[in-house]
Amino acid sequence: MRIAFLTAPEGVEEVELTTPWKAVETAGWIPQLVSTGPGRVQAFNHLDKANTYPVDHLLAGDTSDAFDALVLPGGVANPDALRMNDRAVGFVRSFFETGKPVAAICHAPWTLIEADVVRGRTLTSWPSLATDIRNAGGTWVDEEVQVCRAAPSTLITSRRPDDLDAFCTTLVKEFTPARDDDLGALRSP
């Protein structure tokens, strides 16, 4: 499975990028850093510059076709920049339109709000986004991790870096495709 990690060129919270990335690799999947700018992404540890990471895929009118799932790391500046980029917003929306799972942490739901995909869904985030989520038609809850299986896409959300263990465990579980023998057991009388 190929998992897209969408970030702006600058401002992603490093731990919210690297910890889910490791979880995806440990699951045996291929993480791909997708960005709206070429070269390297500048990560941050809160307000301090951290490491840079190479962009695997430059976003240019893409859809979710090349990927099986999407992870949206947070940081304040990252989702704020993404929600102002039509290509990024369209890319996020395409995962929901095609029924592929999405995971978002911290401030990342700002991009989901801009993509108009939170209406009728229950999610969590950094607490300062609660009003934004409600105004966009979603229900905000203060939970470590929230899974919303509203059709057509599953959405996994968490509040903050302290929730990363639960976030990563849940996203791996929810991103794992059902095995054919599991489906056969469900179909048998």
Q: Which domains does the chain have, with CATH numbers?
A: 2-187 (3.40.50.880)
The pLDDT confidence band at residue 180, using thresholds 50, 70 and 90, is very low
Tens-digit pLDDT profile for residues 134-167: 999 999 999 999 999 998 999 999 999 999 999 9
Judge if pTM exceeds 0.75: yes
Amino acid identity of 127? P
28: exposed, middle or buried (C-beta count within 10 Å: 0-12, 13-18, 19+)? Answer: exposed
Please tell me the total number of residues recorded for the chain in this structure. 189
**Do the Cβ atoms of 69 and 102 come closer than 8 Å?**
yes
Mind telling me the catalytic residues? 106-107
Tens-digit pLDDT profile for residues 83-124: 999 999 999 999 999 999 999 999 999 999 999 999 999 999
The pLDDT confidence band at residue 184, using thresholds 50, 70 and 90, is very low
